[in-house]
Amino acid sequence: MPELNYAQLIQQQKSYFLTGETKTIAFRRKQLKKLRDAVLRNEELIYEALYKDLHKSKFEAYATEIGFVLEELTYHIKHVKKWAKPKRVRTPLTSFPASSYQTCDPKGNVLIMAPWNYPFQLTLVPLIGAVSAGNTAVIKPSEISIHTAQVIEKIISETFDEKYLQVIIGGAKEAQELLQQDFDHIFFTGSGRIGRIVLESAASRLIPVTLELGGKSPCIVDEDVHVKLTARRIIWGKLINAGQTCIAPNCLIVHEKIKDKLLPELVNAIKKFYGENIQTNKEYPRIINRANMERLIGMMEGSKVYWGGRYDVEELFFEPTIIDEACLNLPVMQSEIFGPILPVLTYENMEELIRKLRECPNPLALYYFSNNKENIRKILNVIPAGGVTINDTLMHFANNSLPFGGTRNSGMGKYHGKHSFDVFSNEKPVVYRGTWLDIPIRYAPFRNKIKIIKKLM
């Protein structure tokens, strides 16, 4: 593909947006249906790309990527007309006669920058929100998951005109050039380090942003849990995509009374899911590239391995690994792991647990396994987090009726379902004033009017 002039592309998309064509509900629903049909047509290519990039099995690829996208498309096709309809709201007596409405306008021309770990889902789901809200968009998938990026480019280029939707494949150079353009909104998913760069660049032009970042998501296990079920759900959430999930449990904080029962069950769950020789299991994903393999190997330094720890750099295989007696100064506890390593810490009581959690940055996700309602209430009330799942992992992400996103260092802004429509919309207040009556109280002179206005307001 010839080198694009980004400024011209953006101007072309902005000009198309100004025609008003993308704003009609009929147009939006038609484009969402076209995208759904294109995904279904290319389903096998998507499977192949995800396997080449991350060694994802068909089941995992569908459950966490393709199926998620199709479900989101169906949800938006069904509800976008209702979401976009102006909503009448109460009008104060001081404005009589009048009627007041809240409308949703598309923001305009938006940029979507996606990561490599769920390269299909985390590119398409924000795009669905942008289309549903009536915008034009430039999409920048990660060049690291190149096979999936190429399939996304194929789907979009064969289905839509570039004046409406355009995919840019490239690395840091292309990303930096795109960040210099005058978008109306930027939606970024990725690391906190790059997220800060995006935010700084957008701030210089007062471009609104949504940042979906990462963070160290703790998983806490109270003393009163069903041990076998808890272990199974923790390992499931940790090992999806070989731990390369922004909301995967980053560390396990276990009540000291139950640790010796839980650790063997964690190992049993790993073996039940993937067998004794995990490297030969075709359903176990791989690490994305050599750089991330070396990063994970470095994280193991000084750690006490309870189980696992083997790896094969050439095959990008990293065995599920449980670290016992983890302490905060270990490399594995210094940053988001983004791999199949699970450090285990203990706590003695709720006071100690809350103190430990408060010493950490706000997590993107928090998981708490407990049957103690009072302890659950305390955790929910005192620990800020982007999202919480009680007695399971990841499940708050899977419900598109719920908003998903971080808080402070783990991100800003929410999406999924209607929240995706909202994030790409500008809520606009509209007041219609009647002309058949004009109450003069608001006009000068104001003498003797203070008592009246106090009664009206």
Tokens found for residue 29 = 């629903």
Going by their DSSP bridges, the two strands 311-312 and 317-318 should be labelled as antiparallel
From the list 212, 219, 251, 319, the catalytic residue is: 212
Q: Could you confirm whether 251 is annotated as catalytic?
A: no
Helix, strand, coil % over all residues of the chain, rounded to 5: 45, 20, 35
Distance CA 97, CA 446 (A): 21
Shortest CA distance to 322 belongs to which of 262, 398, 391, 383?
262
Going by their DSSP bridges, the two strands 136-140 and 109-113 should be labelled as parallel
Determine contact, residues 140/170, Cβ cutoff 8 Å: yes
Helices 25-41 + 121-132 axis angle, to 10: 160
Distance CA 10, CA 16 (A): 10
Distance CA 187, CA 126 (A): 8
Tokens found for residue 421 = 């429509």
Q: Could you confirm whether 246 is annotated as catalytic?
A: yes
From the list 246, 251, 319, 336, the catalytic residue is: 246
Distance CA 201, CA 178 (A): 10
Distance CA 192, CA 186 (A): 15
Distance CA 244, CA 340 (A): 8
Determine contact, residues 420/126, Cβ cutoff 8 Å: yes
Distance CA 142, CA 152 (A): 11
3 state SS for 237-273: HHHHHHHCCCCCCCEEEEECCCHHHHHHHHHHHHHHH
Distance CA 184, CA 135 (A): 10
Q: Which residues of 100-114 are buried (b: 16+ CB within 10 A; e: fewer)?
A: beeebebbbbbbbbb
What Å distances lie between residue 207 and 11, 115, 168, 185, 203, CA to CA? Answer: 16, 21, 20, 6, 6
Determine contact, residues 429/436, Cβ cutoff 8 Å: no
Token pair 């260092």 is found at 409
The residues carrying an active-site annotation are 212, 246
